[in-house]
A = this chain, B = another copy of it.
Amino acid sequence: MSSPLERLRALGFELPRPPEALASYVPTRSVPISTTHQLVWVAGQVPVRDGKPLYTGRVPDEVSIEVAQEAARECALNILAQAERSGGLDRVEQVIQLTAFVLSADGFGEQPRVANAASELLADVLGPAGQHSRIAVGANALPLGVPVEIAAVLLMRSD
């Protein structure tokens, strides 16, 4: 049985350094719900590396669905990186929910297709533990003009 990190590498990805939160907020907050488990709220992750956006633009007129899917995968990688820092990827018992905002032209209705790229990456890396409930909606404006922002709630083992 391979580990989540091994599966991530087998898919051709590396875990990024988890983005620092800017200003007076933090990347994750954990709430113990039993002696063995905690709920972890992961802040909205955007496709940035070293504070710079990897992708910008509105779907589908400024960036294609395919490019937005790449951006969604970067958000998912950053969620995984935050989980790794917050106790370790091996301790993710279940991804509970993703909330995905897709920078959308008026009338664009394929936010689920964009968000699927993140959902599938989490399921590929974490197996059944990566399958989550989800909210996917459009937005006319996102931080730094990125095409996608995704937040998560995770159930993690604390022992």
Contact = CB atoms under 8 A, between A and B. Distances in A.
Interface string A73-106: 0000000000000000000001111110110111
Interface stretch (A1-9, A10-18, A141-149): A141-149
Chain A, interface size category, equals: 35 or more
A144 B140 CA distance: 16
Task: Say how many copies of this protein the assembly contains.
Answer: 3
A141 B99 contact: no
A49 interface: no
B140 A140 contact: yes
Interface string A115-143: 01001101100000011111111111111
Interface of A: 21-29, 31-34, 39, 41-44, 58, 94-99, 101-102, 104-112, 116, 119-120, 122-123, 130-146, 149, 151, 153, 155
27 contacts: A22-B112, A25-B131, A25-B134, A27-B133, A28-B133, A29-B95, A29-B133, A31-B33, A41-B97, A42-B133, A44-B136, A44-B137, A99-B151, A104-B140, A105-B141, A106-B140, A107-B141, A109-B144, A110-B143, A111-B142, A112-B143, A135-B149, A135-B151, A136-B143, A137-B149, A139-B140, A140-B140
